[in-house]
Amino acid sequence: MPAPRFIDIEYCQTDDALFPVAMAWSLADGRMKTVVIAPEDDWLPDDGDLGDFDLLYLEEQGVPLIELVHELHQDLPDQTVYVDGLDPDELLVDLIFSGVGQDTPFEIAPITELIPRLDRDSLEDRRRQLMIEEGLEPQLPENGVYALLLLAREEGLLDED
């Protein structure tokens, strides 16, 4: 049985900007990919204030949108991809794909659709608990995806190796 797919996006939000800066997603075999995202010029606030984010780092280390979109098309075509439901994930994914004029090749759904026996608050409490137990920094998207994979494993949704 292929593993459920998960995605988590770190983003920059200021008074006049909201855009993705890093992203992680899981594959059918449970492995993960993670990237820093090079921002589009029209995403950047006019005042240049990105809060805690370093624009030079994002530009130098970030993957261009066209490469990210190509990778997501390869890894997640026609899939349902689950998110923790805490962030504006759909909006951020739309920004990524509209930035290159393409439609999103996957559907985004909240984790509550994958694990309906638990409500959103219970799932979030368990996800947070897993992150603490594993010593994971919550702001890193790969840690968010890992915690969701751990939740899926607890619920019997992943094959045990």
Q: DSSP letters of 36-99? A: EBPPPGGGS-TT---TT--HHHHHHHPBPHHHHHHHHHHHSTT-EEEE-SSS-HHHHHHHHHHT
pLDDT for position 87? 83
Write out the residue range of the structural domain in which residue 83 sits: 5-154
140 inside domain: yes
- pLDDT score of 1 more than 80: no
The pTM (predicted TM-score) of the whole model is 0.92
Contact residues for 40 (Cβ-Cβ < 8 A; gap 6+): 19, 65, 99
Does residue 160 register a pLDDT over 80?
Answer: no
In a domain, 33, yes or no: yes
- What is the Cα 154 distance to its own chain's centre? 20
Residue 159 in any domain: the answer is no
DSSP annotation of 7: E
* Distance from chain centroid for Cα 141: 6
Does residue 95 form part of some domain? Answer: yes
Number of domains in the chain: 1
160 occurs within a structural domain: no
For the chain, first and last CA: distance in Å? 12
Residue 97 inside a domain? The answer is yes
* Position 36 in a domain: yes
pLDDT in tens, 69-86: 999 999 999 999 999 987
pLDDT of 161 strictly over 60: no
Residue 142 lies in a domain: yes
- Mean pLDDT score across all residues of the chain: 92
